[in-house]
Structure 1
C-alpha cells in the first residue's frame, strides 16, 4: 500500500482513517474486504474456473436477494500458482474500500513501530481483500439530486444550462448514452444534456470526468453547491437503482432536480490512479460487493 503497488483513485479523510484504525485496534480483525481490480490473467481465470466446479463452502441468499457462494481453495499447488501469477502483476487498483485500506495500513505501521523486531510475517502486515479481474467488475454511474434551483425559475435555470450544454427534451425516461452526455429530470420532464466542446478537456484525467463537468459547470456556478461532502442540499443515488430512482427522488422526496451520469470506464479509473490523480467524491459505484462478515481476517493470530 505504501509503495504504490496498490493504486488509489479516491481521497481519504484523515479523521476517518484514524477512527477506523482505532476501531481495528480494538476489535483486532477485518470483517469487510477491500475490493481490488487486477488485469485479467488467463492462468488465474482457469484455476478459478476449476476451483468452482466443487461444492461451495457457503451458498446463501441475503435479504437483498443477492446469492453468495464461497469456495475454499486449499490445494497447495493451485495456491502457489496463484501467488506466482499475482507476483508478476505490477499493480492492483482499489475499486472500493479506500478508507479500509488506509486504516489497515496505518494499523500495521503503528504495530511495526511498537515491535522493532517484527519479521514482516505478522498478521498485522496484511489486510483482507477480494480480487476481481477487471472484466468481471461492473462500474455503475453515481447520480446526483439537488433540493432546489438556488432561487432560479425553471426557465432561467434552463437558460443558464444552455450556455454550456445542448438541451433536448425527451418524451420518456432518459439514460445517458455516452460520455459527456447527461440526463436531467425536472418538473416531471426528462432532458438530454450534451456538454459543448469548449467545456470538455479530454487531456485532463480528472477534468474530463462527467462528475467533474457536472460540478464545475452546473452544481457549483449555477446551483451554488460547492462541497459535495458537506452540502446538505445534494444527495447521491447509485446507478444500480436505475434512472427510475432519480424520478422517484424528485417526485416523492424533497428534491427539485436530478442528474444522471454516464458510468466511468475502467480505463479512466486506472489512468487517474496511474497518474496519481484523485476522483471527485461519489464518482463510481462498483459491483459485486462481498457481504460484510462473510469472511474475517484476524490481525493478531
Structure 2
C-alpha cells in the first residue's frame, strides 16, 4: 500500500492544484484494521482513508467482497485483473456504498498472492506438514477457517508483534505477499518461504463516507479520477515489483519452496469455498467464468 498510497496522494494533490493533500501513514501506524474501519464509520478525522482486506470487510457485512478472498478463486494475476476491471468487479467495488456501510470504495489494490512462511525448524514439503502448526493469519473468519482446513492452529497476534513472535517461537509461521515478507525482514526469523499462493485477495482502498459526502462534486471527481489512475498504475507495476521482490527474497537467504501441484490445497479447502460462496453462487460462477 505504501507505494500506491504515495502515488494516489501525489495524483490527488496535482489534480487539485494543492487544494487536497493526503498524508500517508504506512505499516499500521494508525492502528489495526478493525480500529481503522470503526474510525471511518464514525466519520473519519484521525483516519479518512485506509487499505482494507476484502476478507475483513466481509465480517462487516460486505459478503460479495468476501468472495475475492476465497482460496484459489483466481487462476493467476491476469484473471484477477479481468475480474476487477469487469462490470462485476466494479459492482463489488461499490458494495460498501450500496450497503450504506459508512465506507466509499475508491479502488482495488493488487499486492500479490499471499504465501506461507515458517521458522527455520519447520519445513513444508507437503500439505501434511501444516498439521499442528501455529500460524499467525489475519483474524477473519474466512482466513481462520481456510488454514484450519489445512490442520493449522490460527494464533491471533498483532502484525507489529509478529517478528518477535516468530523469533521466540510463539508462532511457527505466518503468511504475507512478497512485499510484506521482504519489507518486514521476516526471512531473518522465518526463512522458509512457500509459494502457496493460497489467496490472491485484492485489497480495496476505502474512504469514510461521511468525509467523502462533505466534499464538493469537483473534489469527489478528483478523488475518483486519481483512484482509477492509481489502480491502473498498480496493475502495470505489480508484476515487475513482485519479480524484483522474489529475487531480493532469494538473495536475502530465504529458502524459497515452489508448490508445483496445488491440487491438495484446493481439495483441502473446498468445503470452506462452498460455505462462503453459499447464497452467492451466481457471483462465484461469474468470477470463475471471466
TM above 0.5, yes or no, is: no
Question: By percentage of residues, which structure has more strand?
Answer: 1
| Structure with the higher helix share, 1 or 2 | 2
TM-score, scaled to structure 2 = 0.26
Q: Which has the larger radius of gyration?
A: 1
